Structure 1
Amino acid sequence: MVTSDDGSELIVIGRGLCFGRHAGDIIDEASVEKTYALQEGTSQDSRTIDRLAHLLESIPTVNLVISEDIVQMLRRELNVDINDKILIALADHHCSRRSY
Structure 2
Amino acid sequence: MLYSSIDHISSENDWHILEKAHQRACQILGRDPKYHPLAEQVARTVIMFFARGERDYGRLASMTAKREINLFEFETETMGTNVRDMSIIVASRPKYFH
TM-score, normalisation: structure 1: 0.32
Going by fraction, where is helix more abundant, 1 or 2? 2
Going by fraction, where is strand more abundant, 1 or 2? 1
Report which structure shows greater RCO (CA 8 Å, sep ≥6): 2
